[in-house]
């Protein structure tokens, strides 16, 4: 088994985040356990596609979604690609594998009214926790950054003079995003209150900390967003990703250039950004009604 070397490869060469590394390791250990217990195979380097197919069937029988299964197989595919690269195998057992079909998930963004309702509620708070949470919501909506990117923001990443923020995304790729005045105002309020918190040494460089002075963490950020938006929205999904989605959708609805939104989001390809185009169903229906020639006929 070459799992430790593979994880190190993903960390050092691919520069994957800790959360991604955990996901890869979990998927692979599940497959290794399946091979050992169900197929009595101890050396997973000698696996053939039929063994993988047996695992897929088992996952389907466990009623795991095709999307979840595809992610697990993607982890496995990357592992065998690594073994091929270092010369441990001559052919990947997944060389001809085709991903299971999945339905496209429609991400419904928050409306501008819902976002304003949350911001209005938070603006009334003057304590450290309230102002910090306001800054979290404002940064998500004003920059479209990912949850992991926000958690790892450092104080030095913010340039109040140039009114911009440096965001470190996937594979340590950095991008610069402009900051609007309202965010800067909240940031100044937060930094004043932050000085009264006794910080853990490891947390000092980071922008966001808890009331106990430790670095903020992803589950807490999720609870903040989910908690406030559950009172303002009846949408099923109320997560930081939906705020990122709202940022992109609202920009595009207002006529922003697709390539510009791509750069702001930190997407590597335009295809990833195109999913946000015309997500506003009401606007799409309106455009269709006004533009289609059949609708213009009396």
Per-residue pLDDT at 291 exceeds 70:
no
Residue 238 designated active-site: no
CA separation (Å) from 298 to 286, 288, 290, 295?
17, 16, 13, 8
Choosing from 2, 25, 166, 241, the catalytic residue is 241
CA 89, CA 292: separation in Å to the nearest integer? Answer: 57
Per-residue pLDDT at 287 exceeds 50:
no
Residue 97 designated active-site: no
pLDDT in tens, 206-256: 999 999 999 999 999 999 999 999 988 887 788 899 999 898 888 888 888
Residue 276 designated active-site: yes
Per-residue pLDDT at 13 exceeds 60:
yes
Residue 170 designated active-site: yes
Choosing from 72, 244, 245, 262, the catalytic residue is 244
Average pLDDT over residues 77-106: 86
Residue 297 designated active-site: no
pLDDT in tens, 119-136: 999 998 999 999 999 999
Choosing from 146, 147, 245, 250, the catalytic residue is 146
Residue 223 designated active-site: no
Could you give all domains of the chain from N- to C-terminal order, each with its CATH number? 3-85 (1.10.150), 112-285 (1.10.443.10)
What is the pLDDT at residue 298?
Answer: 45
Choosing from 9, 166, 170, 235, the catalytic residue is 170
Per-residue pLDDT at 296 exceeds 80:
no
């Amino acid at each position: 088994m070459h799992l430790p070397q593979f994880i190190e490869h993903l960390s050092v060469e691919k520069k994957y985040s800790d959360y991604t590394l955990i996901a890869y390791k979990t998927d692979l250990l599940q497959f290794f356990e399946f091979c050992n217990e169900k197929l009595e195979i101890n050396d997973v380097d000698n696996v053939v596609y039929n063994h993988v197919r047996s695992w897929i069937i088992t996952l389907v029988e466990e009623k795991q979604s095709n999307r979840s299964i595809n992610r697990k197989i993607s982890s496995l595919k990357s592992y065998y690609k690594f073994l091929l690269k270092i010369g441990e195998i001559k052919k990947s057992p997944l060389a001809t594998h085709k991903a299971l079909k999945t339905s496209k998930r429609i991400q419904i963004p928050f409306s501008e009214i819902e976002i304003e309702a949350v911001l209005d509620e938070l603006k009334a708070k003057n304590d450290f926790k309230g102002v910090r949470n306001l800054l979290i919501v404002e940064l998500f909506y004003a920059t479209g950054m990912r949850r992991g990117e926000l958690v790892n923001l450092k104080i030095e990443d913010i340039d109040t003079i140039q009114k911009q923020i440096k965001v470190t995304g996937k594979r340590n790729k950095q991008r610069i995003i402009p900051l609007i005045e309202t965010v800067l105002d909240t940031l100044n309020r937060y930094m004043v209150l932050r000085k009264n918190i006794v910080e853990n040494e490891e947390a000092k460089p980071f922008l966001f900390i808890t009331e106990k002075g430790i670095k903020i963490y992803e589950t807490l950020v999720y609870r903040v967003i989910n908690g406030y938006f559950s009172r303002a929205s009846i949408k099923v999904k109320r997560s930081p990703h939906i705020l990122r989605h709202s940022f992109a959708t609202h920009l595009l609805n207002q006529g922003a250039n697709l390539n510009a939104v791509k750069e702001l989001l930190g997407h590597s390809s335009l295809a990833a950004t195109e999913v946000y185009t015309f997500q506003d169903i009401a606007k799409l229906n309106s455009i269709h009604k006004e533009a289609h020639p059949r609708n213009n006929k009396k």
